[in-house]
Amino acid sequence: MTISPIPVLDDAAVRVAVRARPLLEKEIQENCQECVTYSSDRSEVTVGKERRFTFDHVFGPHVGQEEVYMACVKPLVESCIAGYNATVLAYGQTGSGKTHTMGSANSNLLQEHELGILPRVIHHLYKSIEEHKKAEFLVKCSFVEIHNEEIKDLLHPETPSKSIFIREDANGDIVLAGVREEVVTSFEDMMKLLELGSTNRTTGSTLMNQHSSRSHAIFTIIVEQRSIEENTDIDVITAKFHLVDLAGSERAKRTGAVGLRFKESITINSGLLALGNVISALGDERKRGQHVPYRQSKLTRLLQDSLGGNSRTCMIACISLADINQEETLNTLKYANRARNIHNKPIINRDSRVLQMNQLRMQLKSLQEELVNMRLREKEEACALDCYRLKGNPLSTDLVKVGENNCNSSLQDRHHLSQDMQDSQVISKMKEQLGTLERDNLIYQEKLGEISTEMNLLLRMIPSWESAKEIAETPILFLVAMAKRVLAGNKEGEIDVRMGNIETDTTLKTTRQKSGSIYSSSLVNGIQLLNEADKENSFAGTSLTSVNTAKIIRHYLKTIQGLEKKLAIKEQELTEKEQTLKEVTEDLARDERIFSDKMKEIKALKLLTRELTVEKDCLLQKVQMDATIISDLSHNALAKENELSKLRASVDSLQLQPQEKGIVLEKERISDCNKKFFHQMCGLVLPFKEHQGSNYKEKDDELDESQKPPNEVFLPKETRQLRQRTDTKPSTNIEKRFQDLAYNILKGEYPSQKSCNNEHGPSERGSSFRDKAETEVPGENLSIFDDGNEQIFCNDDMKSGWEMVTRGSHEVSHATNLEKLDSFSKPNERSETRYLHPAFGIENSSVAEMDKERNSSRIMETFDPLNPRDMYIEKKLREMAMIWHAEKQAMEEMVQAERETWEARAMHAMRKQEQLERDHHALKEELENTKSLMQKAGLGIRLSAHSVRELTSGGLDLSTSIVC
Ligand SMILES: Nc1ncnc2c1ncn2[C@@H]1O[C@H](COP(=O)(O)OP(=O)(O)OP(=O)(O)O)[C@@H](O)[C@H]1O
């Protein structure tokens, strides 16, 4: 097989590149400055001003993905095709661009130039395979992550972490048992797997990186190639390519990691610390040859080949330029610098068994060729001797001697030849034995493969075991059957585990001993044969060829011995594996116990969940009922409140009525009564006076109700007519006299004889006024009498009986006639217009009005008590006054009765109000109680939900049971 030209690489050393990412938006906003500089030849990097480091490559912030790939990774892909293991490691602080560089995140949305190393490796690999015509390739891949010191199969996340182990295979290579490798035939398929794994990877958000990888991710591509050319000396080459995106080193203080993140942070840093220790142990000259702590963490154990082992490795140290990250950048560079001193031992990974077979085959071939040549030579010599004897040629004795010698030697050669023939028989026997050994070896390898597959099967079966018995029995049955098949070569046919055809340990051991004896007996036989051949040789005198043959055979036997030793080692391994299996079985038994305990717990929890669900349902029903009750209650409360407010309003109005409304009513009644009486009086007067038409417009009647001022009592039409008549100076004063009389009666003053006899001049009171003060208004025929309380205006007419009396202070003006006086009598703002009705002691505006009316047209007239008409009038007036008094009394009683009714009603209303308020209060309390009940119910539900959540968060999926 022709091997691809191996790329020029310094095979041994780990190559280290540094990649700086540009400042991020956030860092620019925080005014961060760049603290890293690079040399022009891209081999040196300086942090701050003094710390300078040299690396294989230094990539600045503007270097693209393509360039990084071409410089660091492309040679590794090519060497992988050539059969070397390869590793690319991205290391650096969190957020420094490892995932970006490796391309181990989902790259669906990226443009071509943004693609990281992984997609480029896959693309390059398939392109190379397509171009490679002389071999057929089998490409497999796996994707795992190490998260919290547990290995997870990202392509098969259902695989439990506990079933994944890191092991060393027969060749000393590190393998991941339990991780399923997917056979991939195209670039697209592998990209799909990469995306699937990336999606399943554990990421999280920290203060330093929104999409921070919280695990070490290892994508492994396994390339197996088998030559399809004839006459080749190599059959199978296998190479592994690890692409590792390490989790970022971080300080919890800066990333703000708490809780789970903090735990992650600790395991990430401890993994990286272990890696640092391995790098130190390998890179430090003084520590060379000392123990390398690969087993300190799963990460270092898995990368054992990549660091100091059989691999070509490149580490890409990712750094940030920002000065706030200077310390971390410095640490990364120190770390990376140490890695430069690591020297690996890469070799092409050929299949050792195939190699040995090839060597043996070649040696056999040369032996066979030698044998055939010898036979030919022997034949030729025999022919020559026969010819000589037959011809009887008289040769010299010397010649005869030579001939005899030749003949002897020929005989010897024949003897040797026969010896060789015997040897070749031995060789063929050995060959057979070797073939048997090889077959056995192959079977053994296959069985080992089967064991690991069956182990995986067994491990995958674990979750479906339900009882301790199953856990205890099934693996044993499985393992016994497996061991039998492996050790006995399964020649007796398959053993049906389920039928219970189990052999005991002793049978097993015997079988193993038997199988072991196959090898040892064949070896013993071979050595015996060889010894016998040696003896025979020593008797007959050895020829050079036979000695060589014997040596070769010894060599073979040694080789076989070596193989035997390897087999013994394998047996040892098998024993170890059995031991491990035993341990696993024990573990399983323990797990079963735990499992059954957990099942019990789950059952209990299920029960609890059911109870809780029932309780929850009850609570929900109760809450619903409560809600209905509450809504009813609130409706009721609303209605009651409305009712209450209405009642309150009516009570308010009721409260007003007895005091104010009642009074208003009384006023109106009294006013009406007065009016009625006055009208009657006027009615008495009217027949004596002829109606003379009216200059007065009946304005009050023409006015709208709205235009009339409130509480104003208007004089009735008759009064106005009366006034009209007085204004036009009535021909007789009798009617005025009646008016006065009526007025006095109204006021409770009955006309006395004294006042009746006062025929001329002002009244007695008027004269007393006049005694006090008399003022002549100059230029006017008007006098004003004022005693401080009352003013009396007099003109000439007054001397003949006219008199004006007003109360309070009035504007004084010149007046020449009654009209003017009338205007004077109108009260100004300061005037007192309130009059008290003597009968009730209450304000009576109608009386005041009448008083005004009377004042404005007061006519003093001589009353003649002897005049029968006057007497009649007097009598009538008295009768009317009597009636009026009776009416007034009746009305007073009525008013009193009404007042009592009003008071009773008010009391009733008050009681009703109190009752309503009590109801209202009770309703409110009820409402509050219901609300608190509702709150409790709500709390109960929340509590139930919470407890259910707690139960489910205890690692048990009870959702199904809840749904049930
Ligand atoms: N060379 C670069 N050019 C442009 N942007 C980059 C570069 N390197 C990283 N970034 C950006 O920096 C941010 C952080 O990068 P990334 O997630 O790859 O960091 P990380 O080292 O993998 O972090 P963690 O260890 O937390 O997973 C991302 O937004 C990424 O796009």
The dihedrals phi and psi of 74, each to the nearest 5 degrees, come to -55, -45
Dist CA 835 CA 910 (whole Å): 35
Nearest CA to ligand 1 atom 15: 97
334 with 480, same domain: the answer is no
Residue/partner pairs of 126-131 with CB below 8 Å, 24 or more apart: 126/186, 126/187, 126/190, 128/77, 128/78, 128/81, 129/81
Please give the pLDDT value at position 566.
79
Which of 343-347, 495-499, 751-755, 832-836 has the lowest average pLDDT?
Answer: 832-836
Let me know how many helices (H) and strands (E) the chain has, helices first.
Answer: 26, 22
Residue type, 210: Q
303 with 363, same domain: the answer is no
314 with 368, same domain: the answer is no
Do 216 and 74 touch, CB atoms closer than 8 A?
no
338 with 435, same domain: the answer is no
Q: How confident is the model at residue 650 (pLDDT cuts 50, 70, 90)?
A: low
Please give the pLDDT value at position 910.
82
Please count the other Cβ atoms lying within 10 Å of the Cβ belonging to residue 933: 15
Question: Per residue in 119-158, is it b (16+ CB within 10 Å) or e — as a string?
Answer: bbbbbbbbebbeeeeebebebbbbbbbbbbeebbbbbbee
Q: Is the ipTM of this complex over 0.90?
A: yes
465 with 493, same domain: the answer is yes
Q: What is the DSSP string of 858-904?
A: -B-----TT-HHHHHHHHHHHHHHHHHHHHHHHHHHHHHHHHHHHHH
Which residues belong to the annotated binding site for ATP? 92-99
Is 951 a member of any domain?
no
Helical spans, DSSP H, in 657-730:
662-685, 699-702, 717-727
442 with 310, same domain: the answer is no
> To the nearest 10°, the Cα dihedral for 241, 273, 54, 26?
90
DSSP assigned state of 841:
T
Residue 90 CA to ligand 1 center (angstroms) comes to 12
For residue 566, which of 356, 349, 302, 310 has the smallest C-alpha distance? 356
Is 604 a member of any domain?
no
Do 142 and 182 touch, CB atoms closer than 8 A?
yes
H or E segment to which residue 440 belongs: helix 397-461
Please count the other Cβ atoms lying within 10 Å of the Cβ belonging to residue 963: 7
* Residue 43, CA atoms < 13 Å, CB-side half-sphere: 5
116 with 138, same domain: the answer is yes
Dist CA 654 CA 650 (whole Å): 6
Please count the other Cβ atoms lying within 10 Å of the Cβ belonging to residue 920: 18
Is residue 265 lining ligand 1, measured as CB closer than 6 Å?
no
Residue 739 CA to ligand 1 center (angstroms) comes to 116
Which of 63-67, 289-293, 362-366, 460-464 has the lowest average pLDDT?
Answer: 460-464
Nearest CA to ligand 1 atom 23: 95
Is 444 a member of any domain?
yes
- How far CA 590 is from CA of 189, 458, 467, 593, 597, in Å, comes to 41, 16, 12, 5, 11
Is residue 116 lining ligand 1, measured as CB closer than 6 Å?
no
Is 646 a member of any domain?
no
Please give the pLDDT value at position 909.
79
Residue 319 CA to ligand 1 center (angstroms) comes to 10
574: Cβ contacts below 8 Å, ≥ 6 apart: 448, 486
Range of the domain at 497: 359-376+422-542
Residue 67 CA to ligand 1 center (angstroms) comes to 17
DSSP reduced 3-state for 760: coil
Residue 95 CA to ligand 1 center (angstroms) comes to 5
DSSP reduced 3-state for 145: strand
Q: Which of 542, 572, 594 is the last residue of a domain?
A: 542
Residue/partner pairs of 24-30 with CB below 8 Å, 24 or more apart: 24/95, 24/322, 27/320, 27/322, 27/324, 30/324
Nearest CA to ligand 1 atom 9: 97
Residue 58 CA to ligand 1 center (angstroms) comes to 17
Is 729 a member of any domain?
yes
Per-residue pLDDT tens digits for 140-176? 999 999 988 889 999 999 989 888 989 888 777 888 8
Q: How confident is the model at residue 423 (pLDDT cuts 50, 70, 90)?
A: low
Pocket test for ligand 1, best of 89, 100, 201 (most atoms within 8 A of CB): 100
Please count the other Cβ atoms lying within 10 Å of the Cβ belonging to residue 818: 19
Residue 243 CA to ligand 1 center (angstroms) comes to 17
251 with 371, same domain: the answer is no
Do 182 and 141 touch, CB atoms closer than 8 A?
yes
For residue 200, which of 121, 250, 144, 161 has the smallest C-alpha distance? 144
On average, the pLDDT of the chain sits at 68
344 with 426, same domain: the answer is no
225: Cβ contacts below 8 Å, ≥ 6 apart: 81, 83, 132, 135, 136, 137, 138, 236, 237, 238
Residue 305 CA to ligand 1 center (angstroms) comes to 28
**Taking 50 as the threshold, does the pLDDT of residue 478 lie above it?**
yes
Is 310 a member of any domain?
yes
Q: Which of 509, 542, 575 is the last residue of a domain?
A: 542
Q: Tokens in use for 467?
A: 């009882």
SS3 per-residue string spanning 286-315: HHCCCCCCHHHCHHHHHCCCCCCCCCEEEE
For residue 381, which of 354, 363, 403, 365 has the smallest C-alpha distance? 403
Do 230 and 240 touch, CB atoms closer than 8 A?
no
Please give the pLDDT value at position 796.
41
For residue 200, count CB atoms less than 10 angstroms from its CB and return exposed for 0-12, middle for 13-18, buried for 19 or more.
middle
Q: Based on the structure, what is the number of domains in the chain?
A: 3
Which of 300-314, 387-401, 451-465, 848-862 has the lowest average pLDDT?
Answer: 848-862
Please give the pLDDT value at position 318.
94
What share of the chain in percent tops pLDDT 70? Answer: 52
For residue 418, count CB atoms less than 10 angstroms from its CB and return exposed for 0-12, middle for 13-18, buried for 19 or more.
exposed
**Taking 50 as the threshold, does the pLDDT of residue 108 lie above it?**
yes
Please count the other Cβ atoms lying within 10 Å of the Cβ belonging to residue 2: 11
Do 46 and 52 touch, CB atoms closer than 8 A?
yes
Average pLDDT over residues 657-680: 56
Is residue 261 lining ligand 1, measured as CB closer than 6 Å?
no
Is residue 102 lining ligand 1, measured as CB closer than 6 Å?
no
Is 578 a member of any domain?
no
The dihedrals phi and psi of 150, each to the nearest 5 degrees, come to -125, 140
Please count the other Cβ atoms lying within 10 Å of the Cβ belonging to residue 258: 10
Q: Would you say the C-alpha torsion 204, 210, 215, 219 has a positive or negative sign?
A: positive
Is 344 a member of any domain?
yes
Is residue 60 lining ligand 1, measured as CB closer than 6 Å?
no
Is residue 546 lining ligand 1, measured as CB closer than 6 Å?
no
* Residue 843, beta-bridge partner list: 836
**Taking 50 as the threshold, does the pLDDT of residue 695 lie above it?**
no
Please give the pLDDT value at position 825.
38
Is residue 95 lining ligand 1, measured as CB closer than 6 Å?
yes
**Taking 50 as the threshold, does the pLDDT of residue 681 lie above it?**
yes
Here the CATH number for the domain that contains residue 202 is 3.40.850.10
Task: Report the nearest atom of ligand 1 relative to the CA of 65.
Answer: 1
Dist CA 508 CA 924 (whole Å): 87
Q: Which of 499, 518, 542 is the last residue of a domain?
A: 542
- How far CA 655 is from CA of 477, 703, 899, in Å, comes to 102, 34, 12
Dist CA 696 CA 700 (whole Å): 11
Dist CA 54 CA 63 (whole Å): 18
Is residue 204 lining ligand 1, measured as CB closer than 6 Å?
no
157 with 244, same domain: the answer is yes
Do 417 and 374 touch, CB atoms closer than 8 A?
yes
Please give the pLDDT value at position 55.
92
* Residue 250, CA atoms < 13 Å, CB-side half-sphere: 30
Average pLDDT over residues 288-302: 86
For residue 319, which of 305, 304, 329, 308 has the smallest C-alpha distance? 329
| Total residues belonging to the chain | 964
Which of 102-106, 327-331, 596-600, 697-701 has the lowest average pLDDT?
Answer: 697-701
165 with 189, same domain: the answer is yes
79 with 199, same domain: the answer is yes
* Residue 782, beta-bridge partner list: 777, 795
396: Cβ contacts below 8 Å, ≥ 6 apart: none
Please give the pLDDT value at position 360.
73
SS3 per-residue string spanning 383-411: HHHHHHHHHCCCCCHHHHHHHHHHHHHHH
Task: Report the nearest atom of ligand 1 relative to the CA of 318.
Answer: 21
Q: Tokens in use for 778?
A: 């100059």
Q: How confident is the model at residue 127 (pLDDT cuts 50, 70, 90)?
A: very high
Per-residue pLDDT tens digits for 271-281? 888 888 888 88
Do 90 and 219 touch, CB atoms closer than 8 A?
no
